[in-house]
Amino acid sequence: MSGFPDHEVITALVSGRYADPFSLLGMHITGEGLVVRALLPDASAVALIDKKNGRKITELTCEDARGLFMAQLGRRKKPFTYQLAVTWHEHTHIIEDPYRFGPLLQDIDSWLLAEGTHLRPYERLGAHPDELDGVAGMRFAVWAPNAQRVSVVGEFNYWDGRRHPMRQRRENGIWELFLPAVTLGQLYKYEIIDCHGQTRLKADPYAFEAQMRPETASLTRGLPPIVEPDAARSAANTFNQPISIYEVHLGSWRRHADNNFWLSYLELAEQLVGYVKYMGFTHIELLPINEHPFDGSWGYQPLGIYAPTRRFGTPEDFRVLIDAAHRAGINVLLDWVPGHFPGDEFGLAKFDGTSLYEYADPREGLHQDWNTLIYNYGRNEVRNFLAGNALFWLERYGIDGLRVDAVASMIYRDYSRPAGEWVPNHYGGNENLEAIAFLRYTNHNLGTQRDGAITVAEESTSFSGVTAPPENGGLGFHYKWNMGWMNDTLKYMQLDPVHRKYHHHQMTFSMVYAYSENFVLPLSHDEVVHGKHSILNRMPGDMWQKFANVRAYYGFMWGHPGKKLLFMGNEFAQLREWNHDFSLDWHLLDDPDGMHSGVQRLVRDLNQCYRTHAPLYEVDYRYNGFEWLVADDSENSVFAFLRRDASGGEMIVVSNFTPVPRPGYRIGIPSPGRWREALNTDSHYYNGGNLGNSGELHSEHIPSHHREHSLLLTVPPLATIFLVREN
């Protein structure tokens, strides 16, 4: 190449539209010797310095008033390490030239990223502190294959896209650049001239920290250190352990009373973790904490999926919260949203002018319900981006599992779409085969890379094999929310007790399919918003009956096979619906003898009872762990069933969903024995009527319910009792 580029090339370069800046800037070998070129807008003078000895070699001449400087070194043929002494406004600075550094991305990473099998793409893409040739700085890499030019812009270069255009790796569409002297905590974005020639300013998809809304820049941040797996936490996730999950929206669990402002991650580390520990829950599940632009999405429309939201503090502060939970013996699950993302201009939408992360056809790529975009799961780089993110949270923050949101919307192409507004797969069916393959791939990778971590599917259909292994044709999740149980039982509980006998099956039907998947029983945030009312206010009757219904229902839930999940506020029967803009109504607990305090005490004791008695959890997913004792007494709305553990221990759960006491109620049992009432939701301690079975109960050799032995019980009104076998 000649030492002097032509006018058109210079114009393209200084206007920020030259796609291959490394071919022109930096040091190059020519037939006339070495040539050094630098684009330094607004500089008044530039000198070339030999870095080895610090001596000035020559002055660069200004070849274009817009900032192109050049020097021809006719006597030098061999490249050497140099610096530039640049004078701006009468002040001279010694700088490193970004364009003297070679390619950054290694061949193996380039191959794996293009193939879609890079397990940790976040280690290569995004912004990372690094040191090259003894020079400290930040390396940047972003995927934008159809862009005409990409520049790093930030507070370190006056947000000027002309100053730091990136190198394009044509083999995979990744743009890269090492910027000396850029430090941690600085704001940046990518300025992209897209395939249509339009300039777009985009946040980094792989940013580890981002500004809080309404600002949208990314922040340079080091990759969090790896958190090694912990055997005790892994064991707490397994099928044969008690799992009781407290679902939390960090922005509204509790707020400062004086200004309604959020608690910080550090305050939550003390207050939230202490409360969950006190209440006896085994797991905390956090609604999405990824950076998101709109508070009202509750985090379910994320854009910075690698960045903990700045609403509550820094990434280091978030790590303190997770560590505090772990020290308290509590596992942490994150809601994870690979199902959709918002179309904000600074985000992923039309990233390089094309539908890069999303499907191009709106019949595939637009969620009509939420007006959000759908990831193109068939694209290798998108699979890297999402699957890598799942591992990122587990490996880099020590998260113990992911609850995956809206799985049904991912795996069905006709989800919430009328006929003619969706695109069949290549077999003509309605399954999204790319999304199914992505979920299997992600779950498989997590299983091999992070042993002991779990994934939980919010999947609302009868799709088969959600919790079956991928190698057996399943999706590979460990657990699935039992949406059928939740819908059926809540519909039953909302009925006036006089009508419940006509809907008896809604409380028993779940056992027909209970062993088809590994289920979690959820009473989640979705059940206390959008006009559905709180759990308490969905119950019929006067206020006493409402509370009694809630207590009886919770007892039934904790006795039923399946792990448990309860959304915050439900544990003390909050009166109003959840509002993400305000704290929970903690004042309802000011009266320690009040009804709300009674429900809170009950939930605490249910958790304690659940964790203490293995029959309630140990063989949740095996047929021999459950047996109906009374399933057909619709007239009295009474249900009774037996729970067993692996060693033969037994517990009986009896529920009466009418306000009528049932004294002298006989229940057939499989074998004779002595039983003790371990928990009674009608206890005075929970503000109930205190009717029950004090002391021991002995079976009688009196046939009942097709069994030779039976127990004679007092079943309180609107109550559930637990009986534990003593011998």
pLDDT at 4: 64
Half-sphere exposure (Cβ direction) of 408: Cα atoms closer than 13 Å:
13
Q: Are strands 135-143 and 174-180 parallel, antiparallel or unpaired?
A: antiparallel
Tell me, what DSSP letter sits at residue 553? H
188 beta partners: 154, 218
pLDDT higher than 80, residue 140? yes
Q: pLDDT for 312-343, tens place per residue? A: 999 999 999 999 999 999 999 999 999 999 99
Whole-number CA gyration radius for the chain: 31
Tell me, what DSSP letter sits at residue 465? T
Positive/negative CA dihedral, 676, 679, 681, 684? positive
pLDDT at 696: 85
**458 is known as an active-site residue:** yes
Domain boundaries, the chain: 7-100, 107-219, 242-614, 623-725
Contact 90, 42 (CB under 8 A): no
pLDDT at 13: 83
Q: How far is 667 from 715, CA to CA, in rounded Å?
A: 11
pLDDT higher than 50, residue 634? yes
- Give, to the nearest 10 degrees, the angle between helix 315-327 and helix 380-397: 60
Largest CA distance in the chain: 111
CA-wise closest residue to 619 among 654, 644, 655:
644
Instruction: Using pLDDT thresholds of 50, 70 and 90, give the confidence band for residue 6.
Output: confident
Instruction: Using pLDDT thresholds of 50, 70 and 90, give the confidence band for residue 467.
Output: very high
Q: Which ranges constitute the DSSP H helices of 188-300?
A: 231-235, 265-279
Q: What is the pTM assigned to this prediction?
A: 0.93
Quickly list DSSP for 589-636: GSSTTSHHHHHHHHHHHHHHHHHH-GGGTTTTTSGGGEEEEEEEETTT
Instruction: Tell me the fold of 623-725.
Output: Immunoglobulin-like (2.60.40)
Q: Under 8 Å CB-to-CB from 277, ≥6 apart: which residues?
A: 328, 329, 330
Q: pLDDT for 248-257, tens place per residue? A: 999 999 999 8
Averaged pLDDT of the chain: 94
**Which listed residue (194, 358, 458, 618) is catalytic?**
458
Task: For domain 107-219, say whether CATH 2.60.40.10 is its number.
Answer: yes
Strands (E), 21-172: 26-30, 33-39, 45-50, 55-64, 68-73, 82-88, 91-95, 126-132, 135-143, 149-154, 167-169
Contact 345, 200 (CB under 8 A): yes
pLDDT at 115: 87
Residue 320 in tokens: 């303190």
Percent of the chain with pLDDT over 70: 99
In the chain the first and final C-alpha atoms are separated, in Å, by: 92
User: CA dist 107 to 6, 110, 423, 724, Å?
Assistant: 33, 5, 37, 63
Contact 645, 611 (CB under 8 A): no
CATH code: domain 242-614 is 3.20.20.80
Residue 336 in tokens: 């994870």
Kindly report the length of the chain: 727
Q: What is the dihedral of CA 558, 564, 569, 573, to 10 degrees?
A: -20
pLDDT higher than 70, residue 116? yes
pLDDT at 10: 81
656 beta partners: 638, 719
Contact 113, 198 (CB under 8 A): no
Instruction: Pick the range with the lowest mean pLDDT from 235-239, 589-593, 606-610, 684-688.
Output: 589-593
Homologous superfamily in CATH for domain 7-100 = Immunoglobulins (2.60.40.10)
Strand order in the sheet with 674-680: 626-633, 638-644, 650-656, 719-725, 674-680, 696-698
Q: How far is 534 from 575, CA to CA, in rounded Å?
A: 6
pLDDT higher than 90, residue 17? no
**Which listed residue (194, 285, 405, 645) is catalytic?**
405
Tell me the backbone φ, ψ of residue 242, rounded to 5 degrees. -75, 130
Q: pLDDT for 395-428, tens place per residue? A: 999 999 999 999 999 999 999 899 889 999 999 9
Instruction: Count Cβ atoms below 10 Å from residue 424 Cβ, excluding itself.
Output: 11
Q: How far is 149 from 22, CA to CA, in rounded Å?
A: 12
3-state helix, strand, coil in the chain (%, to 5): 25, 30, 45
Residues 127-147: what's their mean pLDDT?
95
Half-sphere exposure (Cβ direction) of 185: Cα atoms closer than 13 Å:
2
| More confident call, 161 vs 77 | 161
pLDDT at 3: 57
Q: pLDDT for 339-374, tens place per residue? A: 999 999 999 999 999 999 999 999 998 988 889 999
Q: Under 8 Å CB-to-CB from 362, ≥6 apart: which residues?
A: none
Q: How far is 459 from 463, CA to CA, in rounded Å?
A: 8
Residue 353 in tokens: 């002018």
> Do 7-100 and 242-614 have matching folds?
no
